[in-house]
Structure 1
Amino acid sequence: MSVDKLDMQSPDLVNQNIEKLAGLFPNCVTESDAGKAIDFDLLRQELSHALVEGNKERYRLEWPGKKEAIVTANLPTTKTLRPVREDSVDFDNTENIYIEGDNLEVLKLLQESYLGKIKMIYIDPPYNTGKDFVYKDNFAKDNQEELLESGQKDEYNQRLVVNPETAGRYHSDWLSMMYPRLKLARNLLKEDGVIFISIDENEQTNLRKMCDEIFGENNFSGEIVWKNSSRNDQDYISVQHEYIVCYVKNKNVNKGDWKEKKEGLEEIYKAFDSFQKIHGNDWDAIHKEGLKWYKQFPESNPISSNKHYSWMDENGVYFPDNISGPNFGQYVYDVYHPVTNKIVKSPSRGWFCPQYKLEELISKNLVHFGKDETTVPCLKTYLNNTEYKSISSVVFKDGRIASKVLRSLFGDEVFTNPKNVDILTNLMNSVGVKENDIVLDFFSGSGTTGECVFKLNSINRHSCRFILVQIPEDLNETIKLSAGGAKKTVVRSIQLLKELNKPENICEIGKERIRRAAKKIKEETGADIDYGFRVYRLDDSNMQDVYYKPQEYAQANLDLFADNVKSDRTADDLLAQVMLDWGLPLSLKIERLEIVGKEVFCVAENSLYACFDKGLDEAFAKEIAKDKPLRVVFRDNGFKDDTAKVNVKQLLKQLSPETEMKVI
């Protein structure tokens, strides 16, 4: 037995400080001759908006543009999210979120409202095959015209470009795209949170090294090899699998006691029930029927992996398990066959337990005997007691299944390579996604993750929620990179959106998929869960430029900005930006009230009262104060006059001292 020893020395404050910094900036921890050390060049970069020079050699993943990627992650954004009620389902009550826009900007906007609140992240990013789009984050060029002309932004003002294999910075551009997004995503994870990332052989090695740096090498939790293909048309070694890479936020908090339910169990139970209806209690006949039934399944089928469960008794399906002891001769005694009453053949290493314990198991019919004493008895291990296992590092699932599921919703193939609903739902269940947890997917594609959350909630009767983020990739641009079957799929998706009178981009496919999946799951299960989702769209700030940079405008120009809110922005738009700025989740329930003739938004009962009407006065303040909201927000020019502005603030301070008041 090991015994903890006293250090017999004063605390090592340097190492303690390194560990504290590692918690905040795991990517700044490196190796030295003496062990762990802080990379001060990288730490300086983390604390600076400008590039910091430094060229020390060290053990880490390097690529051209890495420092720029760090700066990109740390730069603030003035963008906002605008609600799109017409695309939403049950906007005022749902807690699910769908966001259209560049996920880098969106992740920045979510930093306050969802800091440390996400239980699970799943992403299926571009695999960098040389033909797919990636995001181009050129932080140094702010001129919009230049960005548009150079192809770094599309008509939605999003950064989106093709990354061909012939590019001089083929891997570097992909790494620079992924790094800031994963860095920001880590901040959103709960301490027991987990991230799963789908990837193929093109960038799997780089992804692992990058995630070791961002999440910490110690927090690597495994890798699932998903065999999803049987193609044999490649040179050298035919690649028939993809990867799902997994990291946790903190292994000290998330102990990894994850279990998944074995597949195919319901089919096994159903089959053996039918055998018993035919053969009654003739267990030998049922056993033979079971062996014959298992033979129809190929080795890759999960049912086949459970074929040792071919016996049955009145307590259920079981397999005869080893009954021998761990050490030869530990427990040696005679056991009598219950029918022949002769001493049975004993295992070579003796029995696994004392005689009284085995006799107790025999009395409870938990020991499997052969026809006579010539066969070694075995323990009965019942299937219903072994339904769960550790998550396997190898998954066999035909890649065509996911396409079939999506095709069943749309009646045609409208998306290439969607992810498998069963695999993702199983991962969510296995890592403990439960009541009120949030699942984030910021490369949401066809919206598979949204359907998985609906399915998980319908099974467990939970109310976990999703946040999906997807750039509105123009399908008419996608088709230029497509060929063969993939091109036909894009053509069908464009035709579908034309029939639905929707913009021809991937977001519309994703939203429509979620609507249809919700309807199907509700019809099949009748589960009373949240089937809605709020749609938000990334856009420039609601505020005039002078709001952020007044020093750049001469006094003569300021009359143009008498109202610091842009003329095309609604109260809904302003409320969303206020919630983000105040760090409130976008999923909070929103109600509209009329108080003294003014429209008031009530967020999460009295968590926030927001009124963007004009002409606010003392009478209005007195009515608001009766509800004692925790926060209130008004437009700066929304008061009747300057006197009313001062009086409203004083009245709220007097009548509702806990209320925090702000203006925009």
Structure 2
Amino acid sequence: MSDPQNDTNLAASPNPADERRAQLAALIPEAFSEGKLDLAALKRALGESVVIEGGERYTLTWAGKSDAYTVLQTPSTATLRPERDKSVNFDQAQHVFIEGENLEVLKVLQKAYFGKVKLIYIDPPYNTGSDSFIYPDRFQESKEDYLKRINDLADDGTLMREGFFRKNSKESGHYHSNWLSMMLPRLYIARNLLREDGVIFVSCDDNEVHNLRCLMNEVFGEENRIECFVWKKSYGGGAKEKYAVTQHEYVLLFARSIEYVSALWLPPDSEAVQKYYKYKDEKVASRGPYRIKPLEATKSMDERENLVYPIPGPDGKDIMPKRQWWWSKARSYKALENNELVFLKSDDGYSVSYKQYLFDDEGNQRGAKPFSVIDGVYTQRGTSDLADLFDGKVVLQFPKPVDLLKKLILTGDDETRNGLYFDFFAGSGTSAQAILELNAEDNSARRFVCVQIPEPCDGDSEGAKAGFKTISEITRRRIAATIEKLERDADLAMSVPGNLGFKSFLLTPSNFKQWRGDGIDTPEQLAEQMQLFAKSEKEGATVEDMLYELLLRFGQELTTPIESMEMAGGNVFAIHDRKMLFVLESFTEAMIVPLVEMKPREIIAIDGVFNDSDMLKTNLDLQCRDAGIRFTCL
């Protein structure tokens, strides 16, 4: 950034081209490579087919990249069905767990959560050669048709392991390409979900860290890279290693827009507070305990004459620094006046220290910048964290430690501690447990959305032996078990309302019929298709199922409070202080006036509530127009 005081072009008008370039880079960072506009990448981001001809430039490419963009740009017709029986405290819960394939889920959530997420953490497959993940290879067929075609959908509708979860073998010629094709669309939508000050953490190991960093540079923009943390995950081992003992993994941290991200900091943990902040004085109620730190500067500090001055000691004698003080004379004398200096006696006389309180003048807890190497939190701890909630059983191998996730969350957190947090490779649910516990510990209101595909548990795994059919069942049970644990602790249970609960959802086909124009060749076929659409909703669709699908379609979060109102013999659902109304069960002439008098911004109804009465529907439409209310009929 240029210095305005030394900028010789201050009198010049802004360059419109530069401004537009900056706007385009913020909107579509993947369209720029080494600061230059890549027209092929821009076209690809906009959904146009691209054929690269001649010319060499630095870029990340792989077999199937164009197909990955096609997958990204193919809309989803799926929805999320609420599962009250698998939820905890459904109506008040502010957390969400979703069972389903995460790319489809992200597409379904994108409108409702666009630009709202403070922090994303994901722990995707490491591509070790034994990982399994999905590669759809046709883009114009439904997910259900795709699953049936490759024999991945059993008769009862459950996913089968063989085929859908394919091993990505290192012997495959597209070993890295397959992994990148899987990651690209998910990272792209993840960026869309982040707030301007949002950040994303991605765990990985040496198998793909180089490719992941290049891919994230493309999706998020290289200028938005913050750090590549090295997590020391173990302190022993090595018997099976041929060369060096690998003890680390990586966590890449990128920002949505780095100019909106303030400096990172970590509050001291409880052990550090007890170890270092051991003293108390009359300010303990407002400033907390304090630690003692020398006021005399170290040799590494540049010499400054104004930092050499006497400080009166308790014996009346002036104390001079051997070199210089850290603080100015005015600041030191103010601290002396406020009883914030400490004089320590030795054989050579007195030395001067100052009190560093746990909380600053504004009540903010002190912290420190995180180190790029994360140490002291090991994989073994993650195993015990999980076993503690499952009667000592290790129902899933190698879960991340809860303390690691807490450290990352606190690193990317803001001072409000009430943001929205996403994890769409939820695994056993470590991130959910971390957020639930953090909320209870600091009485905060962070909210999570966790997504896990129903990947079958291996038949000989501890999870399968414990009765779990899928990993998503383990995830859901871990969240519930964490809530139960917190409820047993009277102190921690006194947390923000909605923290001790979660809404469970399942990825399913839409509750509404999808018009298909293909295969209609005769008037009879057209008439048959129109007859099928006499009602927009599918047979068996419940009112609650349709309500949550419409919430998502109209850009509303899954935890939006819903009010159910009886009105003139019918029922209406309202959100946002009755500014948006949903009519999904029945409708009568008597409901028109009270509906309009509520002065909502919008009324959404399904066609079936009018019982084939075009006059009733038209009357409501006209009344809404006269009142300036938007009316939508599905």
Normalised to the residue count of structure 1, the TM-score between the two structures is: 0.82
- Asked if 1:326 is matched to 2:310, the reply is no
Which residue in the other structure is 1:282 paired with?
none
**Of the candidates 463, 478, 482, which is equivalent to residue 493 of structure 1?**
463
Which residue in the other structure is 2:37 paired with?
38
Identify which range, 464-473 or 616-625, moves more after superposition. 616-625
Which residue in the other structure is 1:405 paired with?
385
Aligned partners of 2:314 and 2:343 also within 8 Å: no
Question: Structure 1 151/3 Cα, relative in aligned 2: closer, same or farther at 3 Å?
Answer: farther
Deviations 1:504-535 (A, max 9, x none): 11111111111110121232213233111111
Which residue in the other structure is 2:283 paired with?
none
Question: Structure 1 72/343 Cα, relative in aligned 2: closer, same or farther at 3 Å?
Answer: same
Aligned partners of 1:85 and 1:535 also within 8 Å: yes
**Of the candidates 458, 469, 491, which is equivalent to residue 451 of structure 2?**
469
Which residue in the other structure is 2:150 paired with?
150
Deviations 1:352-411 (A, max 9, x none): 5677876776674725444222x7835345473695111221111121112212211111
**Partner amino acid for 2:502?**
F
**Of the candidates 435, 441, 449, which is equivalent to residue 423 of structure 2?**
441
Which residue in the other structure is 1:286 paired with?
none
User: Post-superposition shift, 1:463?
Assistant: 2.0
User: Post-superposition shift, 1:597?
Assistant: 2.9
1:468 match: secondary structure: strand
1:112 match: secondary structure: helix
**Of the candidates 510, 523, 528, which is equivalent to residue 495 of structure 2?**
528
Which residue in the other structure is 1:430 paired with?
411
- Asked if 1:588 is matched to 2:560, the reply is yes
User: Post-superposition shift, 1:638?
Assistant: 2.3
Tell me, in whole angstroms, the C-alpha distance in 2 between the residues paired with 1:572 and 1:264: 47
**Of the candidates 385, 389, 401, which is equivalent to residue 420 of structure 1?**
401
Which residue in the other structure is 1:660 paired with?
630
Question: Structure 1 545/551 Cα, relative in aligned 2: closer, same or farther at 3 Å?
Answer: farther
- Asked if 1:618 is matched to 2:589, the reply is yes
Tell me, in whole angstroms, the C-alpha distance in 2 between the residues paired with 1:581 and 1:196: 28
User: Post-superposition shift, 1:117?
Assistant: 0.6
1:497 match: secondary structure: coil
Aligned partners of 2:296 and 2:324 also within 8 Å: no
2:186 match: secondary structure: helix
Aligned partners of 1:262 and 1:387 also within 8 Å: no
1:61 match: secondary structure: coil
Deviations 1:66-115 (A, max 9, x none): 11111211121111111112112222222221111111111111121111
**Partner amino acid for 1:377?**
S
Instruction: Give the percent of matched residue pairs that are identical in Structure 1 and Structure 2.
Output: 30
Tell me, in whole angstroms, the C-alpha distance in 1 between the residues paired with 2:50 and 2:320: 76
User: Post-superposition shift, 1:556?
Assistant: 4.4
**Partner amino acid for 2:346?**
K
User: Post-superposition shift, 1:215?
Assistant: 0.6
Identify which range, 419-428 or 243-252, moves more after superposition. 419-428
Which residue in the other structure is 2:83 paired with?
84
User: Post-superposition shift, 1:22?
Assistant: 1.1
User: Post-superposition shift, 1:562?
Assistant: 3.1
Tell me, in whole angstroms, the C-alpha distance in 2 between the residues paired with 1:156 and 1:597: 41
Which residue in the other structure is 1:168 paired with?
173
**Of the candidates 271, 275, 282, which is equivalent to residue 268 of structure 1?**
275
- Asked if 1:124 is matched to 2:123, the reply is yes
Aligned partners of 2:313 and 2:350 also within 8 Å: no
**Of the candidates 370, 388, 395, which is equivalent to residue 391 of structure 1?**
370
Tell me, in whole angstroms, the C-alpha distance in 2 between the residues paired with 1:642 and 1:425: 56
Question: Structure 1 414/17 Cα, relative in aligned 2: closer, same or farther at 3 Å?
Answer: same
Aligned partners of 2:296 and 2:321 also within 8 Å: no
Aligned partners of 1:323 and 1:377 also within 8 Å: no
Question: For 1:272-287, what aligned pairs fall within 5 Å after superposition?
Answer: none
Which residue in the other structure is 1:244 paired with?
251
Question: Structure 1 38/335 Cα, relative in aligned 2: closer, same or farther at 3 Å?
Answer: closer
Q: Please, which runs of 5 or more residues in structure 1 have no aligned partner?
A: 277-313, 480-486, 499-503
1:98 match: secondary structure: strand
Aligned partners of 1:91 and 1:533 also within 8 Å: yes
Which residue in the other structure is 1:451 paired with?
433
Aligned partners of 2:136 and 2:146 also within 8 Å: no
Tell me, in whole angstroms, the C-alpha distance in 2 between the residues paired with 1:63 and 1:152: 27
Question: For 1:512-591, what aligned pairs fall within 5 Å after superposition?
Answer: 512-524=477-489, 525-529=492-496, 530=498, 531-546=500-515, 554-558=525-529, 559-591=531-563
Tell me, in whole angstroms, the C-alpha distance in 2 between the residues paired with 1:429 and 1:198: 16
Which residue in the other structure is 1:73 paired with?
72
Which residue in the other structure is 2:285 paired with?
none
User: Post-superposition shift, 1:461?
Assistant: 2.0
Tell me, in whole angstroms, the C-alpha distance in 1 between the residues paired with 2:368 and 2:86: 41
Aligned partners of 2:100 and 2:451 also within 8 Å: yes
Tell me, in whole angstroms, the C-alpha distance in 2 between the residues paired with 1:17 and 1:225: 37
Question: Structure 1 551/611 Cα, relative in aligned 2: closer, same or farther at 3 Å?
Answer: farther
Tell me, in whole angstroms, the C-alpha distance in 2 between the residues paired with 1:46 and 1:184: 12
Aligned partners of 1:320 and 1:368 also within 8 Å: no
Aligned partners of 2:89 and 2:501 also within 8 Å: yes
Tell me, in whole angstroms, the C-alpha distance in 1 between the residues paired with 2:328 and 2:439: 46
Tell me, in whole angstroms, the C-alpha distance in 2 between the residues paired with 1:586 and 1:216: 30
Tell me, in whole angstroms, the C-alpha distance in 2 between the residues paired with 1:145 and 1:358: 74
Question: For 1:180-259, what aligned pairs fall within 5 Å after superposition?
Answer: 180-230=185-235, 231-233=237-239, 234-259=241-266
1:18 match: secondary structure: helix
Tell me, in whole angstroms, the C-alpha distance in 2 between the residues paired with 1:462 and 1:354: 38
**Of the candidates 348, 362, 371, which is equivalent to residue 346 of structure 2?**
371
2:201 match: secondary structure: strand
Which residue in the other structure is 1:54 paired with?
52
Tell me, in whole angstroms, the C-alpha distance in 2 between the residues paired with 1:606 and 1:436: 25
User: Post-superposition shift, 1:220?
Assistant: 0.5
Aligned partners of 2:138 and 2:146 also within 8 Å: no
Which residue in the other structure is 1:302 paired with?
none
Identify which range, 425-434 or 523-532, moves more after superposition. 425-434
Q: How many residues are paired up?
A: 596
Which residue in the other structure is 1:179 paired with?
184
**Partner amino acid for 2:249?**
E
Query: What's the Cα RMSD here?
Result: 3.1
Aligned partners of 1:344 and 1:376 also within 8 Å: yes
Tell me, in whole angstroms, the C-alpha distance in 1 between the residues paired with 2:454 and 2:249: 26
User: Post-superposition shift, 1:613?
Assistant: 2.5
